[in-house]
């Protein structure tokens, strides 16, 4: 049985938690060939929950294992697809982020990758 179709539901992968989610968009094969699976993952995005946190002014800290992640690009930034996430997450208000890390954060940046131990330190700080 061939379950391919000329339409496909667009999905994206959440940058923060790695969940596949529906964008609500439908992709159409331009030549109307039955070339596509039921779902097509087109790239990275933010799931509903993390979009909401982003809109509320939070930045997500995603813990990555540097040993298992790919090497960062020339500008020192790690590409999301190369990051090996440990599954540990934290959310921090943007204004707090700039204070804690002593660095400004771009307003359109939904998440940053941090090394193991950073989230623990932060949680210890916030517990005081």
Cα–Cα distance, 97 to 54 (Å, whole number): 13
Cα–Cα distance, 21 to 49 (Å, whole number): 11
Cα–Cα distance, 31 to 55 (Å, whole number): 38
Q: How many residues bind Zn ion (CB under 5 A)?
A: 5
Q: Does 11 bind Zn ion (CB under 5 A)?
A: no
- Contact stretch for Zn ion (CB under 5 A) within 11-19, 35-43, 99-107, 112-120: 11-19
Query: Which residues within the stretch 13-32 sit at the binding site for Zn ion (CB under 5 A)?
Result: 14, 16-17
Query: Residue 12 Cβ, how far from Zn ion at the closest point, in Å?
Result: 10
Cα–Cα distance, 119 to 51 (Å, whole number): 21
- Contact stretch for Zn ion (CB under 5 A) within 44-52, 54-62, 80-88, 93-101: 44-52
Give exposure, 8-30, as e/b (b: 16+ Cβ within 10 Å). Answer: bbbbbbbbbbeeebeeeeebeee
Are the CB atoms for 12 and 45 separated by under 8 Å? yes
Q: Does 90 bind Zn ion (CB under 5 A)?
A: no
Query: Which residues within the stretch 49-88 sit at the binding site for Zn ion (CB under 5 A)?
Result: 50
- Contact stretch for Zn ion (CB under 5 A) within 12-20, 34-42, 95-103, 108-116: 12-20
Residues contributing to the site for Zn ion (CB under 5 A): 14, 16-17, 47, 50
């Amino acid at each position: 049985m061939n379950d391919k179709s000329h339409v496909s539901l667009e999905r994206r992968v959440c940058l923060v938690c790695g969940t596949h989610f529906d964008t609500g968009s439908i992709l159409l094969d331009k030549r109307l060939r039955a070339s596509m699976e039921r779902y097509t993952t087109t790239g990275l995005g933010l799931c509903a929950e993390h979009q909401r946190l982003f809109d509320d002014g939070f930045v997500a800290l995603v813990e990555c294992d540097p040993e298992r992640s790919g090497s960062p690009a020339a500008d020192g930034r790690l590409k999301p697809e190369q990051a090996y996430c440990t599954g540990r997450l934290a959310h921090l208000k943007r204004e707090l982020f700039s204070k804690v890390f002593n660095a400004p954060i771009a307003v359109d940046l939904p998440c940053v990758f941090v090394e193991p131990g950073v989230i623990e330190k932060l949680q210890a700080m916030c517990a005081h």
